[in-house]
Amino acid sequence: MRNFFIPENQDTPQVSFDVATQVFEIKGESFGLCSMDFYLPIIQWLDAYTKQHQGTLTFNFKLLYYNTGSSQRFYEMMKLLERYHQSGRGQVKINWYTTSDESSIIEAGEDFQASIQIPFEIVLQDEVTVA
């Protein structure tokens, strides 16, 4: 499969899935009103990729802000990654990047971490770089 890339715009994050490095990343802000329209092709690509691929994946979330609809799509992606991880076809690690002063994003990361059964690390940084 080819890499998957969507540039960031004013309402949606950058999506960069690199098949050579197996590092997949969503970064920026996600508050578009139609999150399903934006995330459906991403979820479909990820589903197809995990059915064809074997090996380790690293998934990085570097979000400054996101709405409830986006959160639901992130959960769908994580459950898909959990199925892949539990299938024995490959290992998955999720990194949830945020800053120590973003308590709501830290708490959301902790909620995601508690709801899935794959390695999940909350990475606190001085500043979450989205560029």
Domains and CATH numbers, the chain: 4-125 (3.30.750)
- Residue 33: is its pLDDT beyond 90? no
Q: Is 64 helix (H, G, I), strand (E, B) or coil?
A: strand
Going by C-beta distance under 8 Å and a sequence separation of 6 or more, which residues neighbour residue 21? Answer: none
Placement of tokens 């909350």 in the chain:
122
Provide the pLDDT confidence category of residue 128 given band limits of 50, 70 and 90.
Answer: low
Mean pLDDT of 32-61: 94
Which three-class secondary structure string do you get for 13-58? CEEEEECCCCEEEEEEEECCCCHHHHHHHHHHHHHHHHHHCCCCEE
pLDDT value at position 34? 81
Compute the half-sphere exposure of residue 4: CA atoms within 13 Å on the CB side of its CA.
18
Give tens-digit pLDDT for 74-102: 999 999 999 999 999 999 999 999 998 99
pLDDT value at position 32? 74
- Pair 76, 43: CB distance under 8 Å: yes
